[in-house]
């Protein structure tokens, strides 16, 4: 019995209650899970700060101070009870605060004794305080440091903060190590370890939790990142070679009449260079004899629809049918209208099928489809149903990829004897490196150029103190007949305070922009659905000048007359979200503006984000930067709460080099031994299955 498979509850210091918490909060249920819960960063515990040298700049991370207890106090009653300990060193004083576990803390401190205190500092009226810090008598802390200065910081959650904070995690791993030591089997063949300079798995796991030196920590990180990226690549490369070798693709040998007529006489504008390039890429795929599986990325408004249409015409010219699937009814109908209008009287037969298509009409469409009398069918998920039978489906376009995962793509394949070519389109920029890692079974095309004549949105950053200037600018724009969005952040963890901000902000706006001259409406999650719809309708119809909203408007609103997007507390939004919000304006002929409002105090990272927004409107550059600023853990969060790939340690934006090595290794092995049947590779199957890609990937969630 492999001790790594043991239930975590049997590890000393865990037990039933904590095991349940660990499972619920972090998905940890076995010893192996716990071992693979890596620190997300390390601090040097030999560094001890003086209270006097700490300031706002320190509030983003953990630090240590060494101070003497000078007093204690209780505040509040019942659930709001709070316990404070006052400490001081020769340079200043600080307050340590507990809201929970007060009884336990209370008796652990002696007045006058010196402690090492570890936690995240905050400042309140320029007084230093720390909430729920870890505290150890000085003698004990110092003796531990002599072993090694680097200590891992583990991610925990609010619910875990008492007893299972970062120190609790550390203790559990200490406790379980003795039972797994010597039992960690390395699945990596010796020759690969030599070739890529990888330390053993056991050494790596030991040093990731208990770094014996900075150099060993580096090697441990390299080994574990390599494993992760290699595991993913083993899957991706298997999928890819299966597709390339086994899936015979339809050959669209000729460029025929519809394509030429459309291109030469009906196209309402010259294509951009990027659109032409993508069409060429698709054309190459569709004559290659292999089935195409291509991801087309292009920012909102970059002109993906026409590329899709031209590609579908290629299929039609070669005697195949094409279909185009959109995530919503509205989008499907919009596409249908666009396509019908663009094609005009060319004689290409187009139909639309959605969930609300009337039974009678549906019957007619399904019949015609089966008889081959429809060339292009536009629709929603309804196209996936079994009763939708084509006579000769050759090309499929999936727009926006919301919830069309690997499995659904597979369902489309059964609609003809051979799988059709598939073009997946998304407006959410995915950095190339991430795309290569996560969607490596797809080829990627990018439209990185907007049609000419678009006026780039002007973006500026104001501090809250410039609010009067902002209001002045808003009045000017309204006087010119324009409309304005004001967006407030709404985050689950701070929902109450966020709504309070929004309400306060709304009240202030109504006061400064009074009726009858100005009309202000609001739209947020607390409102009834009808009320939300009504205020959206008013804004769309131009009956309101200002819409105050939470980030719900991020999706799907299209009001060309809105030219100003004001984002409140912009420092709290991620880059991708800011970019999406900004995309709500700049849809009409008038110059548009995005105004980022923030507090004067900004962390380095927030400042970088806001600066980047002001500098560029290029979604891809922003996405790359976003990925660099955020850790690997955050990528999980954006990929359907970790459903896609479990990046625990690698960051595909930063670990480019390792990614390339891992890819190279995977290709070499699979070329020699495609099914991992050789004895030396047999153990790699475990690694491969851990990173299996047989999951639905939700592109819409990648931000
Ligand atoms: P998206 O990539 O967001 O789906 P659309 O395909 O809806 O973008 O195109 C946005 C708008 O740009 C449409 O009105 C379309 O007609 C127009 N458009 C597309 N390509 C060009 C081009 N090459 N030149 C000018 N306008 C274009
Ligand atoms: Mg589109």
User: For the domain 46-148, what is the CATH code?
Assistant: 2.40.50.140
Q: Is 300 in the pocket of ligand 1 (CB under 6 A)?
A: yes
Instruction: Output the pLDDT for position 436.
Output: 62
Q: Answer whether 52 contacts ligand 1 (Cβ < 6 A).
A: no
CB of 298 within 6 A of ligand 1: the answer is yes
Please tell me the distance between residue 260's alpha carbon and the centre of ligand 1 in angstroms: 20
Strand partners, 483: 562
Q: Which residue do the tokens 């190590």 mark?
A: 177
> In angstroms, rounded to a whole number, what is the distance separating the alpha carbons of residues 309 and 341?
12
Distances (CA, A) of 326 to 179, 296, 429: 53, 14, 18
Please report, in angstroms and rounded to a whole number, the separation of the first and last CA atoms in the chain.
42
Question: Which listed ligand is nearest to 451 at the C-alpha?
Answer: 1
**344 and 399 in contact (C-beta within 8 Å)?**
no
For 401, the 3-state DSSP assignment is coil
Do the beta carbons of residue 603 and residue 610 sit within 8 Å?
no
Cis geometry, peptide bond prior to residue 207 (ω within 30 degrees of 0): no
Listed in order, the ranges of the chain carrying CATH 2.40.50.140 are 46-148
| Residue 253: closest CA among 283, 296, 279 | 283
Mutate to test the pocket of ligand 1, among 303, 331, 429, 446 (most ligand atoms within 8 A of CB): 303
pTM, entire model: 0.61
Token pair for 113: 């004794």
- Quote the CA–CA distance of 419 and 415 in Å, as a whole number: 8
Q: Is 305 in the pocket of ligand 1 (CB under 6 A)?
A: yes
Q: How far apart are CA 480 and CA 620, in angstroms?
A: 33
- Does any ligand 1 atom lie closer than 6 A to the CB of residue 272? yes
Counting ligand 1 atoms within 8 A of each CB, the residue from 277, 305, 312 with the most, and so the one to mutate, is: 305
Helices (H) and strands (E) in the chain, counts: 25, 22
- Distance from the alpha carbon of residue 307 to the mean position of ligand 1, in angstroms: 9
Ligand nearest to the CA of 342: 1
Topology annotation, domain 458-616: Rossmann fold (3.40.50)
Sheet of 92-98, strands arranged across: 121-124, 127-131, 92-98, 82-89, 63-75, 114-119, 134-137
CA of 335 to the centre of ligand 2 (A): 8
* CATH 3.40.50.300 intervals, the chain: 257-447, 458-616
116 lines ligand 1 (CB under 6 A): no
Q: Point out the ligand nearest to the CA of residue 447.
A: 1
Split the chain (703 residues) into runs of 10 and give each run's mean pLDDT: 88 90 89 92 84 81 89 82 91 90 80 90 84 85 66 76 77 90 92 96 95 91 95 84 73 92 94 96 92 84 92 96 86 88 94 93 96 96 89 90 52 73 80 62 82 87 94 96 93 76 90 93 82 84 92 64 95 84 84 95 89 88 76 40 58 79 93 92 90 49 29
Residue 331 Cβ contacting ligand 1 at under 6 Å:
no
Instruction: Name the 3-class secondary structure at 82.
Output: strand
Atom of ligand 1 nearest to the CA of 298: 2
State the closest ligand 1 atom to the C-alpha of 272, by its place in the atom list counted from 1.
Answer: 23
Q: Which atom of ligand 1 is nearest to the CA of 304?
A: 2
Candidate from 273, 451, 587, 589 with most ligand 1 atoms within 8 A of CB, to mutate: 451
Q: Which top CATH class is 257-447? A: alpha beta
41 CB-side CA count, 13 A: 11
Given a contact cutoff of 8 angstroms between Cβ atoms, the answer to whether 179 and 163 are in contact is no
Q: What is the whole-number distance in angstroms between the Cα of residue 294 and the centre of ligand 1?
A: 20
Q: Which residues of 264-273 are buried (b: 16+ CB within 10 A; e: fewer)?
A: eeeeeeebbe
- Residue 273: CB within 6 Å of ligand 1? no
Q: Are 84 and 97 in contact (CB under 8 A)?
A: yes
At residue 693's C-alpha, the angle toward residues 687 and 695, to 5°, is: 130
Establish whether residue 328 lines the binding site of ligand 1, counting it when its CB lies within 6 angstroms of any ligand atom: no
């Amino acid at each position: 019995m492999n001790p790594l498979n043991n239930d975590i509850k049997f590890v000393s210091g865990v037990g039933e209650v904590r095991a349940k918490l660990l499972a619920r909060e972090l998905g940890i249920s076995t010893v192996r899970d716990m071992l693979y819960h890596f620190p997300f960063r390390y601090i040097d515990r030999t560094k001890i700060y003086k209270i006097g040298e700490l300031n706002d700049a320190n509030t983003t991370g953990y630090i240590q101070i060494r101070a003497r207890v000078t007093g204690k106090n209780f505040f509040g009653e019942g659930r709001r009870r709070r316990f404070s300990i006052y400490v001081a060193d020769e340079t200043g004083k600080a307050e340590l605060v507990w809201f929970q576990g007060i009884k336990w803390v209370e008796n652990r401190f002696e007045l006058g004794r010196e402690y090492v205190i570890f936690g995240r500092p905050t400042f309140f009226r320029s007084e230093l305080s720390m909430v729920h810090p870890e505290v150890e008598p000085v003698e004990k802390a110092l003796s531990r440091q002599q072993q090694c200065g680097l200590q891992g910081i583990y991610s925990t959650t609010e619910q875990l903060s008492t007893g299972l904070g970062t120190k609790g995690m550390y203790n559990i791993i200490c406790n379980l190590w003795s039972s797994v030591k010597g039992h960690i089997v390395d699945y990596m063949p010796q020759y690969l370890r030599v070739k890529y300079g990888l330390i053993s798995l056991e050494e790596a796991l030991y040093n990731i939790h208990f770094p014996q030196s900075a150099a060993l920590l580096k090697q441990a990180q390299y080994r574990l990142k390599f494993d992760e990226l290699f595991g993913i690549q083993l899957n991706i490369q298997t999928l890819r070679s299966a597709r390339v070798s086994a899936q015979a693709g339809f050959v669209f040998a000729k460029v025929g009449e519809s394509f030429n007529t459309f291109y030469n006489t009906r196209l309402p504008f010259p294509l951009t260079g990027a659109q032409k390039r993508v069409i060429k890429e698709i054309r190459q795929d569709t004559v290659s004899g292999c089935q195409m599986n291509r991801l087309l990325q292009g920012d909102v408004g970059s002109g993906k629809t026409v590329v899709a249409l031209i590609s579908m015409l290629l299929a039609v010219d070669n005697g195949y049918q094409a279909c185009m699937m959109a995530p919503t009814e509205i989008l499907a109908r919009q596409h249908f209208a666009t396509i019908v209008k663009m094609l005009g009287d060319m004689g290409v037969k187009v139909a639309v099928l959605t969930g609300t298509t009337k039974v009678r009409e549906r019957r007619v469409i399904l019949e015609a489809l089966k008889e081959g009398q429809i060339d292009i069918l536009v629709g929603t998920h309804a196209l996936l149903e079994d009763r939708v039978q084509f006579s000769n489906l050759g090309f499929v376009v999936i727009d926006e990829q919301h919830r069309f995962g690997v499995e659904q793509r597979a369902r489309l394949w059964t609609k003809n004897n051979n799988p059709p070519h598939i073009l997946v389109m998304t407006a959410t920029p995915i950095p190339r490196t991430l795309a290569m890692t996560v969607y490596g079974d797809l080829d990627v095309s990018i439209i990185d150029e907007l049609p000419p004549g678009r006026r780039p949105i002007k973006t500026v950053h104001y501090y809250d103190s410039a609010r009067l200037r902002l209001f002045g600018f808003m009045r000017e724009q309204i006087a010119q007949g324009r409309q304005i969005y004001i967006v407030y952040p709404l985050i689950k963890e701070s929902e109450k305070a966020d709504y309070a901000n929004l309400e306060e902000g709304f009240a202030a706006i109504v006061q400064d922009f009074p009726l009858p001259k100005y009309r202000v409406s609001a739209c947020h999650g607390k409102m009834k659905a009808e009320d939300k719809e009504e205020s959206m309708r008013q804004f769309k119809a131009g009956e309101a000048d200002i819409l105050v909203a939470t980030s719900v408007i991020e999706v799907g609103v299209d009001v060309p007359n809105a030219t100003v997007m004001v984002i409140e507390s912009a420092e709290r939004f991620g880059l991708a979200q800011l970019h999406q919000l900004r995309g709500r304006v700049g849809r009409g002929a008038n110059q548009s503006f995005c105004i980022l409002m923030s507090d004067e105090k900004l962390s380095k990272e927030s400042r970088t984000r806001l600066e980047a927004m002001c500098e560029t409107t290029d979604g891809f550059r922003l996405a790359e930067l976003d990925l660099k600023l955020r850790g690997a853990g955050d990528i999980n969060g954006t990929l359907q709460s970790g459903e896609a790939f479990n990046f625990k340690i690698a960051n595909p934006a930063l670990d480019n080099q390792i990614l390339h090595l891992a890819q190279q290794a995977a290709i070499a092995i699979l070329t020699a031994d495609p099914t991992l049947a050789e004895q030396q590779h047999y153990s790699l199957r475990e690694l491969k299955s851990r990173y299996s890609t047989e999951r639905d990937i939700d592109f819409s969630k990648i931000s």
